[in-house]
Amino acid sequence: MQITYLHHSGFCVQLPEHTLIFDWVEGQLPELAPAKPVVVFVSHFHADHFTFDLFRRLAACPQVHYVLGWDIRRQFSRRFFAARGVEQELYSRIHFVKGGETLTVAGLKVETLTSTDSGVAFLVADGTHSLYHAGDLNWWLWAGEDAAFNRQMTHDFLAQMALIEGRRFDVAFLPLDPRQEADYAEGFDHFMRHTDTAQAWPMHFWEDFSVFQRLADDPRSAPYRAEVAKAEWYRR
């Protein structure tokens, strides 16, 4: 398995029989093997996770499949897609998914969870490897929000995490957002303590790489510190 960081929450994962692309908005893809199916996952419609330009960028791929959060279909009409170059034949092949679904795409098992923000998180398995991409599913606690908001956020996040309690993931891509200040690692820490994850890649950190050292110095990360990707891996 080869992982390439693209930008923000965007990653390319090259598996033996598939290429997976998650939340690609910016950044350079590695060279893609034409014989492998390319499966593109977009968690939700926010501009830091989704761009219509990805359809143009990948138009030359002979085997490309799209799995998009349902909120993208709700946010943008069919006419809007067409105006941006997505013809009917391509549109009809897009899988729009809600949380709690299970489907097979190009031989991959794809499961979804409901985000605590917008859209979905993805669980993807090829029979050998198991991956998790959170999208914006996170424990979004904010000092500026009222207590009721944060209570509901806590309830919603823990309810989704309970669905994957103890699950094994070879790789997980997880938000680690410094804008949350003291709560920057709440979701990341909970996920790592309640799943069996071999390697965790922080994302959604707004290119503030200082968050890697902050997590390394955080006493909470001691049980899983060795499983967290290194900042230098993102720049290679």
Task: Give the chain's domain count.
Answer: 1
Q: What angle do CA 208, 220, 44 make, to 5 degrees?
A: 50
- Residue 49 is part of a domain; what is its CATH number? 3.60.15.10
Cβ proximity of 190 and 163 under 8 Å: no
Instruction: Find the helix or strand (DSSP H, E) in which 192 lies.
Output: helix 186-194
Cα gap 209→167, rounded to integer Å: 28
Cβ proximity of 26 and 32 under 8 Å: no
Range of the domain at 68: 2-235
Cβ proximity of 204 and 177 under 8 Å: yes
List per-residue pLDDT tens for the chain, 236 residues long.
999 999 999 999 999 999 999 999 999 999 999 999 999 999 999 999 999 999 999 999 989 999 999 999 999 999 999 999 999 999 999 999 999 999 999 999 999 999 999 999 999 999 999 999 999 999 999 999 999 999 999 999 999 999 999 999 999 999 999 999 999 999 999 999 999 999 999 999 999 999 999 999 999 999 999 999 999 999 86
Radius of gyration of the chain (CA): 17
pTM above 0.75, yes or no: yes
End-to-end CA distance of the chain: 15
